[in-house]
Structure 1
């Protein structure tokens, strides 16, 4: 399977910050893969997504997406980027627009022909099991329903890749589990590449083909873990708990060693 995303020796520093947000990050994600990036707050997960989406340019490093070199040795190549969907923790729906109009706004921004808007909005709202609320106002929906609309909006532009920045962390556990299952169904149908950020190792193991584990100070990749658990998976299964436990032990051991090394220095 060919790589959709390749990042090589990437670093990023915010102006005025002594410690880089990211340092020497390298990773690769295959076409159609569900990849998760997991780590605590401050490890640079969201910064990495900003770089992939073009909102930030790394200080050094190379980024290639779908065969297109976007950044080479820290220099933005100013080339057209593959279409990306973006899903945030907050659904970010405009409250003065109906559910359908929110999706149509994204379709307009993606230069989708107007003649396709209604069919696409209806199709993806139905896929997310929220079609009956197409003419509703976002404020009348529950948190889980609004996030379903946000998923439909991200998929409706039919992107090459969907970037997801902790989209379920603000939801209750039951709703979160339901939407994780629905997201996997949609990913399997669409065949798109998903890159999902989370601070939950359990969530990452449930969703991903591969998990990249990051640490802060500066943000870097500790390890890449292949998840060999067959699909469909059960969130509370012993197999997922076992992999989660091994990953937690590995991370804690690394951090303890790293802290001791820092103290000795």
Structure 2
């Protein structure tokens, strides 16, 4: 990515942070205009008071000074009130950056097998730099714009001819400053990279100190760290030299207008200007224009450049996505010969799996506990990287897809302290927050309406500890329903809801634009899905519910086990009477024998319920015996 592209991307991120908060941006502009009121009336009040006192009109002079005092009080109110909308713009950007950096660090750790040392510097330094300097930059920009506008409006009303003496040098000073920006950004970027290298090398040095001493490599490591420190010092000196050039721009834009008015004062007095008007014009330059220009050049040239480069660095490392959705291919999910194991010597949890989920599909994933369903969801979400094979979302590798494109809801839903509105709009941080009408529609679709009313509405503050597990799941489901995610993965995200509530939530997501993948814990989820993926640890079957009942014996066993457990009524293809209260039957069986429901160990049907040692709470897991009638024991299930 070129430097120009990084600057443009960083600018879009910052501009987007303002656009996504239109109410706060409007309030900030209004209060900034109020804050600039003293500048607007300063020169005029000084001119009026001076001329009044020179002509012995004391009352008039005092009235002008009183007007200035009122404007100063209004400016103080505006200055204090501007900080609340300012925080409303800055803090959401900071929160989004933290999420992106943490996500990038997790991806780096999964990819390399070790923590991302440079990511520590980006999280502890660079995110805070962006937060603080973005706030300062907004203060500087709005101050410069409104102060400069107030000063020029005041000059045009008081002594219009002075604009010819003021505007050209101001424009020249700003032009000189802008000409230095490109070079200054390059030097600032060198400094940022030097800081990251020192952070990464220092962490490696600390963690490997014993090995370094044992190998006698102290001098070599010391020399390497020394070179990095020297490089950082050189970059800092270069940044300082660039900063010195800003003094020239300040002198041209801030001092030349003052000298021009002083030099032209005799001519102005001869052509009808009063002493008070000349003094008022000087006041506008000294108290309005020059301070605003000084603050703008110092702020933009210092913290502003640091902000642009730091944000560009975050974009460059992939932690602030420059592309909001996959590059092409719509929203299709494609897995090509994906294999994943938790360690180089471990047996694969997912082995050579190929799968295509078209955009808009509804897929249920079923199988015994511990078979790899949640692992597959993490691979699709880009939180795990395959040992072999590829996972693509819309033609883009899953690990590189913008996080806004997909949402994974785990079994334990997360709800944070705050208002219900804050919780539901959390995944809309980068877009316009949902209004009440949109919240009502989402709550009605997912089934949150009753809970929202009981809590006291969307603006009621909630304590997560007072919510049940099912209520937390409803909040998380509605939050995801309102998100821009095109792909939604429900990893047993409805397990604490009753069957009717689960059906309502799944129906809402199935009708929502995009794709839905459900890690099912009830067989009804598989029946509702358009397609079902059955995993049993040896192979994968893909098809519709009725199709799998016909040709997939493990799926029939799983379906029959659910029915025998009492949690699911069983009905399969070929059951002519269609009576859901009847036992499960298999297509083609005239006698309607049960399809291997779970029974007592040693039972004649050859199906023995066995509890895995590491899943003691999964009483419904069953292992069918083979033809040799050999019973499975707990030690056989360790893998």
Whether the 8 Å contact between 1:164 and 1:197 is mirrored in structure 2 is yes
Distance 2:380 2:431 in 1: 22
TM-fit CA distance, 1:93? 1.0
Instruction: Please show how residues 146-157 of structure 1 align to structure 2 within 5 Å.
Output: 146-157=472-483
TM-score by length of 1: 0.73
Task: Give the aligned partner of residue 337 of structure 2.
Answer: 9
Q: Which runs of 5+ in 2 are unaligned?
A: 1-329, 548-567, 574-579, 588-594, 597-606, 608-622, 631-635
After superposition, residues 90-101 of structure 1 pair within 5 angstroms as 90-94=412-416, 96-101=417-422
Per-residue Cα deviation, 1:106-159 (whole angstroms, up to 9, x for no partner): 221xx1234x46554444223323242432524444433322211101111131
For the Cα contact (< 8 Å) 2:412–2:469, is it kept in 1?
no
Q: CA deviation at 1:185?
A: 2.9
Indicate which of 152, 161, 168 corresponds to 2:487: 161
Q: Is the 8 A contact 1:6 1:63 kept in 2?
A: yes
Q: Secondary structure at the match of 1:15?
A: coil
In the alignment, is the contact (CA less than 8 A) between 1:8 and 1:27 conserved in 2?
Answer: yes
* TM-score of the aligned structures, taking structure 2 as reference length: 0.33
User: Which whole-Å CA distance do the structure 1 matches of 2:540 and 2:448 have between them?
Assistant: 39
Structure with larger Rg: 2
Assess, with a 3 A threshold, how the Cα gap between structure 1 residues 123 and 212 changes in structure 2: closer, same or farther.
same
Structure 2: how far apart are the matches of 1:147 and 1:236? 25
What is aligned with 1:232? none
Q: From the two aligned structures, give the one with the greater helix fraction.
A: 2
Report if the CA contact (8 A) 1:84-1:162 is conserved. yes
Question: Is 1:213–2:529 an aligned residue pair?
Answer: no
1:10 is displaced (CA, Å) by 0.3
Structure 1 unmatched ranges of 5 or more? 230-234
Q: Shift of residue 168 of structure 1? A: 2.6
Q: 2:517 aligns with which of 183, 195, 201?
A: 195
Residues 191 and 105 (structure 1), Cα distance of their counterparts in 2 relative to 1, 3 Å cut: closer
Measure, in 2, the Cα distance between the counterparts of 1:60 and 1:101: 40
Provide the C-alpha distance between the structure 2 equivalents of 1:257 and 1:8, rounded to a whole number of angstroms: 32
Q: Tell me which of the two structures has the higher relative contact order, counting C-alpha pairs closer than 8 angstroms and 6 or more residues apart.
A: 1
- Alignment deviations for residues 31-52 of structure 1 (CA, whole Å, 9 cap, x no partner): 2221011112222111111111
Match of 1:70 in 2: 397
Q: Which has the higher strand share?
A: 1
| CA–CA distance in structure 2, aligned partners of residues 23 and 255 of structure 1 | 22
Match of 1:179 in 2: 501
Residues 54 and 140 of structure 1: CA distance in aligned 2, closer, same or farther (over 3 Å): same
Q: How many residues are treated as equivalent by the alignment?
A: 236
